[in-house]
Amino acid sequence: MVYEVLQSHEMCTYYDLEANPGIQLKSPKPDQAFSFLDQPEIVDRLLAYRDEKNARVTFFLPQMHCASCIWLLENLYRLKPGIRRSRVEFLKKEIDLTFAPQEVSLREVVQLLASIGYEPDLHLDALRQKPARHNSTAFYFRLGVAGFCFGNIMLMSFPEYLGLDPESEPEFRRFFGYLNLLLALPVFFYSASGFFQSAWTGLKRRYLNIDVPIALGILALFGRSAYEILTDTGAGYMDSLAALIFFLLSGRWFQNRTYDSLNFDRDYTAYFPISATRMHEGQEESVTITQLHPGDTILVRNQELIPADAVLLSGSAQVDYSFVTGEAELVSRRKGDLLYAGGRLAGSAVEMTLVKAVSQSYLTQLWNHDSFQQAPDRGIAAFTDRLGRRFTIAVMSIALLAAGYWLWADSAATAVHVFTSVLIVACPCALALNAPITLGNALRILGRSQFYLKNTQVVERLAEITRIVFDKTGTITHKRGREAVQVEGQLSAEERGLLSLLVRQSGHPVSRTLAAWAGPAAEQMPEGYREIPGQGISARIGGHAVALGNAAFAAGQGCQVADVQGSTYLLIDGQCRAAFRMDAQYRPGLQELLQRLRQRYRLSLISGDHDRERGTLAGWFPEGADLHFEQSPHDKLAYVEALQRNGEVVLMAGDGLNDAGALQMSDAGIAVTEDADAFSPACDGILHGSRLSQLDRLLQFSRDSMRMVRMGLLISLGYNVVGLTIAVQAQLSPVVAAILMPLSSVSVVGFGLLTTWVLGRKMEAAQSAAPSATYK
Amino acid sequence: MSAIFVLIIISLIVAGGFLALFLWAVRNGQYEDNYTPAVRMLWDDDGSPSGKRQTTGKPDEH
């Protein structure tokens, strides 16, 4: 289908670009699925810009994956006249489209994208006013200006370094001095402004962060140097000032480079659709789900999401709550039953009357909890900032003591000289760079193991964890559809063929799992196929009556079987031939992982699922570990909260919307997923499912990295002691300052990068050396 | 020796020019996406991917 579209526009070269440009086509949606895009208010919200002739829109296309994609998407204008221009930003998986609204509508653009396999990610959150995109331009400006001035000030300071005799050429010294002052002005007033702002904000909140001593050092450096240059009494320390600010900004740049394409802040609006179909006087109308009110009647089709708690009006419905509860089986509901929001309808379209607004429904209420209102940087302050307080106090007292001594022993001038020297030399450049650079590198190394963290603070928190809480379905087990089939009874090859043919007629998850298990289907035509929702399926195949269903269904077919919860029975000609049970399939290596983890951490399991697996799991978890089943999303949140009140530092590993509250509440919420681009609730880190068995090694690496941060701290404090010893003796010269500061920074940064690199190699070697995990 | 004053000022102006170029490049968005342009430049001017030039008719089975 994609090929046809492309061929008709002579774009077959697409297929030449890579041998296998294949995109997996998901079942294409019917055209009416996008009818909400005809509504003016939705269009207005989505468009970034619009005038008479042009409209601009940005879409997130998670399917984008190769160079061919870029080429195809940037040549969209050939597929549809009216599209003026399209630009792809590959790493963010975004496309920026300009089109002529008179010639082509937004809906047609989206339909075109969907028809070639790139359906835009359109969920409720797309309607929110987007926060102005993180503007890095100003930051690069500051960095560029600081770098430029740093290099030139160093050059202008050469005469001073070489010890040119200031007496013989006084005009040179003055000339270079004034040039240095001139070059330092933009550094001080522009590039360094962020540090002053941050220090000021900290002071206003009566909190001494690491930027306070930095700002003090910068002020002392600039004031002292400007004084020396203007009074012609010395060469000043402008080179140190520029170097300091350039290094600090580089450190910040390194720290802030995180994962562009990953989103760690999604809430339910990223999962819920934009629109719903409302029934109004017998007519269907497409409305945004924010416009839905209690009392409205809506129509929900197969595979659509129930947007708010509602009462079922139609006869019966099957709902897939797997993402909300973790329960893998379809839930049957009858007329008059309450349907909770977040479930996906399986089967024919049904009508329902809303009883709650979207944001007040059972599931979405989770986001009204306090833990979602707090600032994101809650809990443990960053390692460096915690040091800032003690550091500032220590430096200020040393500076005052030294100044007091020199005031008594010598003159006020020497006292001021010593006071500023102490502030200059103690300026915690190396200290401020140490943690961000070391942890920033650790973050990237963890990323290579498909463990993506939101920021460096998460590494710090991972090092402090005392308790690990696991969700079950989708986290320690594979997602549904990959369950292991347990069979009671022997089936001949022929019977397997019959079963296989029968289950291929149904879209029920159990049928799909059995179809994969049963193998090739019998080559016959099924006749009289019937499906009783929530019970079973039956058909006549080649003269045999074949039926598959639960115990009640089997009884209805005249066959009494022991009613074991969750079992499915196969009947051939009225005889029960086999019973199937779908067991969750645990991720390979899980048992070994739990063995290793229990030596250091307390472990818990908290599942929305029933407790059929309790026996297996109790053997794997340490004795007396908390194993909770049938927990609601709110229970999970409350459980994590209770642990934290007991002073535990909690890591929560979960995957679904039902874990969203617990993930948010925990000190480190890790979303386990097979596809980092797929929806995952708000979290601190995203871990690829196949790497879960390496969790202990990843945590070990975080702890080791934090140890390296502490060692780097010792090194930088060592430099400070040396510098302070010189400074309190009133011996600090610009050359010493200009050497000491970069030397300490470079050695601390080098130490951090090197050690984390070595540790990372060690961790990766341990991962690949781990015995190849086998499937249960 | 006074030539040094002139030379240093000239060198600063040259260096300032490069700074201005850098700032222009930042403002122009050249540091925002550093993957896609590398792919984009491989296409021919007519918009088709470079290398194998397409003759008429169907390509091989894909």
In tens, the pLDDT along A510-556 reads 777 787 788 777 777 788 887 776 678 888 888 888 888 887 788 87
> What does the DSSP assignment read for chain B?
-HHHHHHHHHHHHHHHHHHHHHHHHHHTTTTT-SSHHHHHTTB-TTSSBSSSPP-SS--S--
Q: Which among A1-5, A253-257, A568-572, B14-18 has the top mean pLDDT? A: B14-18
pLDDT band for A30, please (50, 70, 90 cuts): low
Contact A540, A491 (CB under 8 A): no
Distance, in Å, from the CA atom of A518 to the CA atom of A742, rounded to the nearest integer, reads: 68
Q: A471 and A656 in contact (C-beta within 8 Å)? A: yes
Candidates A12, A15, A144; nearest CB to B26: A144
Does B52 contact A88 at a Cβ distance shorter than 8 Å? Answer: no
Whether residue A715 lies within 8 A of chain B, CB to CB, comes out as no
| CA–CA gap between residue A144 and residue B19 (Å, rounded) | 7
**Chain A residues close to B5, C-beta within 8 Å:** 175
As a whole number, mean pLDDT of residues A690-700 equals 90
Is A12 in contact with B26 (Cβ distance < 8 A)? no
Residue B7 near chain A (CB below 8 Å): no
* Closest in B8, B23, B39 to A70, CB measured: B39
When scoring A2, A6, A10, A13 by the number of chain B Cβ atoms within 10 A, the one with the most, hence best to mutate, is A13
Closest listed residue to residue A634, CA positions, set A376, A380, A344, A361: A361
CA atoms of B23 and B13, how far apart (whole Å): 15
Token representation of residue A235: 């060469």
| A75 lies within 8 A of chain B by CB | yes
Which residues 6+ apart lie within 8 Å of A91 measured at CB? A260, A261, B33, B35, B36
B2/A contact by beta carbon, under 8 A: no
Say which residue the tokens 């059929």 belong to.
Answer: A612
Tokens 């897939």 sit at which residue? A320
pLDDT interval class at B13 (50, 70, 90): very high
What average pLDDT does the segment A435-452 reach?
88
Distance CA A744, CA A251 (A): 14
Among B11, B13, B26, which would you mutate to test the A interface (most chain A Cβ atoms within 10 Å of its Cβ)? B26
Q: Which residues pair with A670 in a beta bridge?
A: A653, A685
**Contact residues, B window 8-27, toward A, CB-based 8 Å cutoff:** 8, 12, 15-16, 18-19, 22-23, 26-27
Which residues does chain B have within 8 Å of residue A169's beta carbon, measured at their own beta carbons? 1
Structure tokens belonging to residue A375: 């600032």
Chain B: give the shortest CA distance to residue A513, in Å. Answer: 30
A88 touches chain B (CB under 8 A): yes
Instruction: Find the residue in A nearest to B23 (Cα).
Output: A141
Asked if the C-beta of B37 comes within 8 angstroms of chain A's C-beta atoms, the answer is no
Torsion of CA A107, A109, A115, A116, to 10 degrees: -160
Task: Check CB contact under 8 Å for A16 and B52.
Answer: yes
CB–CB of B59 and A12 under 8 A?
yes
Do strands A94-99 and A83-89 pair parallel, antiparallel, or not at all (unpaired)?
Answer: antiparallel
**Pairing state of beta strands A297-300 and A275-280?**
antiparallel
> Taking CB atoms and an 8 Å cutoff, what residues of chain A touch B54?
12-13, 16
Of the two residues A263 and A68, the one the predictor is more confident about is A68
Cβ contact (<8 Å) for A74 and B40? Answer: yes
Over 60: is that where the pLDDT of A692 sits?
yes
Do the Cβ atoms of A214 and A428 come closer than 8 Å? Answer: yes
Instruction: Give the pLDDT score at A476.
Output: 84
Contact A179 B8 (CB under 8 A): yes
Q: Does the ipTM surpass 0.85?
A: no
Return the number of other C-beta atoms located less than 10 Å from residue A409's C-beta: 10
CB–CB contact A90 B52 (8 Å): no
Q: Mean pLDDT for chain A? A: 81
- Number of residue pairs across A and B with CB atoms under 8 Å? 71
CA distance A664 to A668: 8
Of A12, A90, A148, the CB nearest to B19: A148
- What is the pLDDT, as a whole number, of residue A245? 92
Report CB contact under 8 Å: A91, B19. no
Alpha carbon distance A572, A490 (integer Å): 13
Closest to A305 (Cα-Cα) out of A345, A360, A349: A345
Question: A774: pLDDT confidence band, cut at 50, 70 and 90?
Answer: very low
For A115-127, b/e burial (b = at least 16 CB within 10 A) is: bbbbbbbbbbbbb
Measured between beta carbons, the chain A residues lying within 8 angstroms of B23 are 141, 144
- B19-36 CB burial, b ≥16 within 10 A, e <16: beebbeebeeeeebbeeb
Confidence band, pLDDT 50/70/90 cuts, at residue A170 = confident
Nearest CA-CA distance, residue B27 and chain A, Å: 6
Q: Return the minimum-mean-pLDDT range out of A95-104, A214-223, A705-714, B43-52.
A: B43-52
For A39-168, list the strands marked E by DSSP. Answer: 49-50, 55-60, 83-89, 94-99
Residues contacting A367, CB < 8 A, separation 6+: A267, A268, A359, A660
Distance of CA A275 to the CA centre of its chain: 26
pLDDT at residue A165 is higher than 70: no
A3 pLDDT band, cuts 50/70/90, is low
Compute the half-sphere exposure of residue B37: CA atoms within 13 Å on the CB side of its CA: 6
Q: Do B59 and A175 count as a contact with CB atoms less than 8 A apart?
A: no
d(CA A320, CA A337): 15
Q: Which of A13, A91, A141 has the CB atom closest to B48's CB atom?
A: A13
Whose structure tokens read 């196929």? A529
Question: Whats the size of chain A, residue-wise?
Answer: 776
Searching chain A, which residue's CA lies closest to the CA of residue B54?
A: A13
Beta strands in A493-609 (DSSP E): 526-532, 536-541, 544-549, 567-572, 575-583, 602-606
The vertex-A175 CA angle with A171 and A181, nearest 5°, equals: 145
Does the beta carbon of B46 lie under 8 angstroms from any beta carbon of chain A?
A: no
For A582, the 3-state DSSP assignment is strand
Helix (H, G, I), strand (E, B) or coil at A538: strand
B51 and A CB contact within 8 Å:
yes
Contacts of A3 in chain B (CB under 8 A): 62
What was the pLDDT predicted at A41? Answer: 77
| All residues at 6 or more sequence positions from A426 whose CB lies less than 8 Å from its CB, including other chains | A213, A217, A395, A398, A399, A720, A723, A724, A727
CA dihedral A740, A746, A747, A751 (to 10 degrees): 160
Interchain CB distance below 8 Å, A91 and B49: no
Q: How many Å lie between the alpha carbon of A396 and the closest alpha carbon of chain B?
A: 37
Contacts of B36 in chain A (CB under 8 A): 70, 87-91
Confidence of residue A258 (pLDDT cuts 50, 70, 90): low
User: What residue in B sits closest to A20 (Cα-Cα)?
Assistant: B62
Q: Is B50 on the interface with A (CB under 8 A)?
A: no
Determine contact, residues A656/A683, Cβ cutoff 8 Å: no
Partners of residue A74 in chain B, C-beta under 8 Å: 40
Minimal CA separation from B57 to chain A, in Å: 9
Average pLDDT over residues A649-657: 86
Highest averaged pLDDT of the listed ranges A71-85, A91-105, A166-180, A638-652: A638-652
DSSP summary character for residue A255:
H
Q: What is the pLDDT of residue B15?
A: 92
Q: Which residues of A touch B20 (CB under 8 A)?
A: none
Predicted pLDDT of residue A295: 86
Identify the pLDDT of residue B53: 40
